[in-house]
Structure 1
């Protein structure tokens, strides 16, 4: 049995810390996000098993002009942040070649195939099976041309273990009744899922971790390298796992690893859930690049990809546009709105970094999960636990090695 220090208590860190405890390790978890502002606790709640194709692709590159925020889209490249997003964009372009895209897609297919089963096991482990709603999700369109193109694109896409089907007439009527006008089309996905409530998930994971004997330390953790080992300063442990989201870059580069990570910032607004049906799974309104999720006590609309410093001031225009989308569609979401912005940790090939350091014997990492941190947290936890134990991971991890950026 070893003592593992886990730096970062988002959903990846908490899931990993719990899995390590279950494997017999002592675990100290370092959490500098007592206010729960990390993207782990503000995302769309969607277990996105369908997102097999990496966003680093020539299709994505070609779509950039039509997706820019200044033209009505969801992609924001703030001029003041060009020193951050231009080098990242260059790396993304290099990672978008057909061969690299194909390798990334194959690696993600294997990883995502285990996402929903790993989630089922995790919620059972913490005694909260109702936290996982295994009911799929919808993608919807109001314009007929957009519906035809979108449906064809999704039906031709590699969606792994998830599968779309055209929504029934009854489903279309019900979804259309949410807004001012009927829908032109929708797809119902099976094989995906939803976390019923992110606040309850966080509480349940922390309670399970502490009940198992884990130690929780509040405040920032710093790590230092000593020859071929690392330590959390002031807290000696045998192994160190870094899963600190966007802050992983500073931690890992400070001890010699290269990690070209950017903060991909997303925005949401939340309101009282009184008028949104409790039994509806998440709905992605694709023309607005917006996903609406009902949680236990609120309904949330989320959108935007904004490349910037994680600490840059939020852009109120993003929240205003979300609220305008809600009003223009006539959705039954009424203010006052609670606004949030969080920074997803994204690498230029849109693959996570999961593995054991080739340079520092007791260092492990699990970060860079971009939009899929919630989706991949439990399977990532199984992988890092196997690596710490010196066992074979449940899925191949060579594609996620941090040395691909050396």
Structure 2
């Protein structure tokens, strides 16, 4: 169906106004589509806007691995950052079994190759996107630090990162001045060592990025409509979207609804093993943390601290639960404890946030075109890499919509790898 006022232009409906959805919408618009974004919240608070702002091109190895399984017990909350709430066992136990099946050496190796190919284009895509929307100043390409609190953990950590495939990134020991700068932000004697990554980056202001993306969409005639999609349905071989009593139609429908994506696919019979991998943060509006300090991951605590334009954010936790489960205040208290014990310049208690990362068992996203409906595309399941991969995913979605060759092979990201098709 073509838009009646623009008969030569195709229409596109993007379900989800997070980073992946907005980047896809802008790329579809650039390809000539008339675009509407369907977003349930007027002020979205999802993982796109509550993350650490870290463009993590170094994370080419999927977390579905034998190493993750072996270390799980030692990382369980409250000792560590991995939370498997007993009351949510029905949610996370089936997912955990699938994760274990996806963690064989062969699947880990193939997953690393696939994720590496996707991450290679992540930073160049963000350069293109931020330049187009007039927000190049928000993209900082000055790497990040990983710090440790004991000589033993520093030695283990250095060995791990120097021996691990980190794609287009590189790593070296922090210089004496860099280490001194990190130590100046923590209590005396807390930091034993650190490394600095190059090639990774940061978005300096997630709110500013959101505003710039939405403004660019509107400036080119795009629309953001607020409403909760009730599900995707099929009319013949065409997908439509239910919105209350209304049925929405478009030449291209793109599902980018994050952790809600699997639920929206159930009406067409697709069963996708997507889980809400929930993260927590606290944010201080005031801090003496330097504006130009890159993100610092305190690896012994599985916590990353990032300076944004609007304050200092401390983020952590991998909590497997349903999207609708209430947040656990103990997680925020744990973060406050980390901040206090390290002596960081953070104005406690800080503003709390919890959001759901959309995660699939093999820790690869699902990106592709439906085999059930010729006009349905999907891009979800980006786990911890939603910010990192949003811009490059948008480019891939636009190529799919136009029927053009994609920059990388998307076969590893086909949702059919889980035994069901979309």
TM-score scaled to structure 1, two decimals? 0.98
Is 1:192 paired with 2:200? yes
Aligned to 1:156: 163
Give the aligned length.
Answer: 405
Is 1:52 paired with 2:65? no
Is 1:84 paired with 2:91? yes
Task: Work out which of the residue numbers 385, 389, 404 in structure 1 matches 2:398.
Answer: 385
Aligned to 1:232: 241
Deviates more, 1:72-81 or 1:177-186: 177-186
Deviates more, 1:296-305 or 1:169-178: 169-178
Aligned to 1:375: 388
Cα distance in 1 for partners of 2:402, 2:336 equals 48
- 1:336–1:68 Cα change, 3 Å: closer
Cα distance in 1 for partners of 2:357, 2:42 equals 18
User: Is the CA contact (8 Å cut-off) linking 1:75 and 1:305 kept in structure 2?
Assistant: yes
Aligned to 1:3: 11
Is 1:303 paired with 2:316? yes
Deviates more, 1:388-397 or 1:173-182: 173-182
Matched residue of 2:248: which SS? coil
CA shift at 1:184, angstroms?
Answer: 1.4
Cα distance in 2 for partners of 1:185, 1:273 equals 26
Aligned to 1:170: 177
Structure 1 segments (4+ residues) deviating >3 Å: none
1:163-205 CA-partner distances (Å, limit 9, x unpaired): 1110011111111111112421111000001000111111110
Matched residue of 1:69: which SS? coil
Matched residue of 2:268: which SS? coil
Task: Work out which of the residue numbers 23, 34, 38 in structure 1 matches 2:46.
Answer: 38
Is 1:287 paired with 2:296? no
CA shift at 1:336, angstroms?
Answer: 4.2
Cα distance in 2 for partners of 1:16, 1:339 equals 29
User: Is the CA contact (8 Å cut-off) linking 2:229 and 2:264 kept in structure 1?
Assistant: no
Aligned to 1:23: 31
CA shift at 1:216, angstroms?
Answer: 1.4
Is 1:338 paired with 2:351? yes
Aligned to 1:255: 268
Matched residue of 1:348: which SS? coil
CA shift at 1:102, angstroms?
Answer: 0.5
Matched residue of 2:270: which SS? coil
1:72-106 CA-partner distances (Å, limit 9, x unpaired): 10000000000010000000000000110111000
Aligned to 1:217: 225
Cα distance in 1 for partners of 2:325, 2:287 equals 34
Cα distance in 1 for partners of 2:69, 2:41 equals 34
Is 1:361 paired with 2:374? yes
Cα distance in 1 for partners of 2:92, 2:249 equals 36
CA shift at 1:215, angstroms?
Answer: 1.6
TM-score scaled to structure 2, two decimals? 0.95
Cα distance in 2 for partners of 1:319, 1:158 equals 32
Matched residue of 2:72: which SS? helix
What are structure 1's unaligned runs of at least 5 residues? Answer: none
User: Is the CA contact (8 Å cut-off) linking 1:273 and 1:294 kept in structure 2?
Assistant: no
Cα distance in 2 for partners of 1:181, 1:302 equals 22
1:313-350 CA-partner distances (Å, limit 9, x unpaired): 10000000000000001111112410000000000000
CA shift at 1:26, angstroms?
Answer: 1.2
Cα distance in 1 for partners of 2:278, 2:187 equals 30
Cα distance in 2 for partners of 1:320, 1:49 equals 30
Deviates more, 1:357-366 or 1:297-306: 357-366
Cα distance in 2 for partners of 1:221, 1:258 equals 18
The alignment's C-alpha RMSD in Å is 0.9
Cα distance in 2 for partners of 1:389, 1:35 equals 31
Aligned to 1:269: 282
